[in-house]
A and B are shown apart, each in its own frame.
Chain A
């Protein structure tokens, strides 16, 4: 399985990562090797096999709709790189 440099850069952008130009080729090679290894799954006949997304047969876990304790605002904000007036601060989003 080959993955091109352009594909790596595209997927990195989707994942909000910035890959240095000098590292792209090596990364594409490593990811290609891993995907080639993964391709052995195509040897397995899975016709009609249900997928497993979870190891145990759990159903939804409901609770009573009552108010419970939550972190106070100050505690939620305490780790933010930048905060102001009870809010997280981010770079300007709209022009």
Chain B
């Protein structure tokens, strides 16, 4: 990473590479202004967006106005940890007055009349929003290839996918196009792209962060979380968005700790559970396995104790997910009918015709596939065999985790079974694509917090991620372990050359 002290002559060269903590210190000490920082980030976006395609909307004008406001706050002696920090938002999260598409043609155009709670809270804390990030349509996908607009490329290798569905978020953070980003995670959509792009990504506990203004995919699984280049930065953004929100009846009415307080604490004696089923998973790349085993050795050298655990039902997690998520999606996406917002096809003979034409022309192939699967699984005669059965196996997965957390504090395993694959490699085979979420899905089904942190590189130079999972509302434990790991390793210091 670059020197934290700012040389007046070269400051614009690498301000966009600052961590949030470093930028905050420089802003607070008045060594830089948010306007300078924001301009550096916008210049960086202008310089690399043509190759990365991470953004669906760039809000330069609004960002510079927010930066000026942040600078006025600093001049008045107010500089909270996120004040003046340029961030970007996955385009599934509503931003008042700024186009929000969910990566779908069916919401083009849609200008939300309100901010999502997380956006409102970030703005209140002085964060600067530089734009909206590309994603798989309605967050359905693992590669960002399902976007209705464009394919985002991995900054480490432009011929490869950045992961998904928050691929724009991970690529933008990795390439220095923002200091932090928000993503959403329904089956791994923050962690898998974080892993593929060599950044930190956290899916908080279900209910930790308000979903108000997050466009729904699978409501019992969806959760908003941060992506950043450092564990401490992710903790700072999580501090900014976590908490009870009366507008989301599933958000938890619990006090939120300061997630930076745990950073730096020794992990001596922390029990790390290693699921014995995962090493034998079909499709696990040997380079990923080696990197994760190396990471576990590092954690042991830091004083953590490894515990052998078993999660016998997680082998069914992908199957459970691909019933429950499409069922919930088929219901949630019924609202796109060409009446209230977004796209309407040329009218057919009657209302039903208009609905069908609008939805078929507006939704992409993967979204239509999942709506059909969900509708099928919920239809008369199949409900018990599919949705009922999957919901029962979900219980067994929840119980597996409960048992595991009786003997360990944190679970460690790979985030994704392989490094980033090539664009087009899996796009014609939905089932193979689904299996890239094999390690991440169970945390959504159980509602537990999980994060991905860089833990190595493949021989081809592609990032590999370590996943850490914790107990419900146990974000501090996984952040603490991740922070110690980061401090003991250098993987986070390497940046893609772009």
Contact = CB atoms under 8 A, between A and B. Distances in A.
Interface of A: 3, 7-8, 11-19, 27, 30-31, 33-35, 37-38, 40-42, 44, 46, 49-56, 58, 60-61, 63, 71, 75-76, 78-82, 88, 90-93
A80 B393 contact: no
Nearest to A61: B249
13 contacts: A12-B372, A27-B372, A30-B430, A30-B431, A38-B323, A55-B444, A58-B207, A60-B249, A76-B113, A79-B340, A81-B339, A81-B344, A91-B347
Interface of B: 109-111, 113-114, 205-207, 220-221, 246, 249-250, 252-253, 313, 316, 318-320, 322-323, 330, 334, 337-344, 347-357, 359-360, 363, 368-369, 371-373, 375-376, 379, 386, 388-396, 398, 430-431, 434, 444-448, 472
B360 A31 contact: no
B466 to A, nearest CB: 23
Contacts of B354: 90-91
A63 B373 contact: no
A16 B352 contact: yes
A51 B350 contact: no
B350 A79 contact: no
A91 B445 contact: no
B373 A19 contact: no
Contact of B322 (A38, A46, A52): A38
B392 A53 contact: no
B111 A17 contact: no
Contacts, number: 172
Contacts of A91: 347-351, 353-354
Nearest to A81: B344
Given A63-B246, A79-B342, A90-B354, A34 B252 contact: no
Given A55-B398, A90-B354, A41 B316 contact: yes
Nearest to B323: A38
* 10 pairs of A and B residues whose beta carbons are closest in the complex: A55-B447, A51-B391, A79-B341, A81-B344, A61-B249, A46-B392, A75-B113, A18-B356, A18-B360, A15-B375
Contacts of A17: 356, 359-360, 363, 368, 371-372
Contacts of A54: 220, 250, 447
Interface centre among A50, A91, A93 (most CB of B within 10 A): A91
A16 B350 CA distance: 13
Contacts of A78: 111, 113
B360 A44 contact: no
A16 B313 contact: no
A35 B386 CA distance: 9
Contact of B252 (A12, A56, A71): A56
B395 A49 contact: yes
Given A15-B375, A31-B369, A55 B445 contact: yes
B372 A50 contact: no
Contacts of A53: 220, 391
Contacts of A13: 356
Given A46-B389, A49-B392, A52-B395, A15 B372 contact: yes
B206 A81 contact: no
Given A52-B395, A54-B250, 20 more contacts: A12-B372, A27-B372, A37-B431, A38-B390, A41-B319, A46-B389, A49-B392, A51-B395, A53-B220, A55-B221, A56-B207, A58-B249, A58-B250, A58-B252, A71-B114, A75-B113, A79-B341, A80-B339, A81-B343, A91-B347
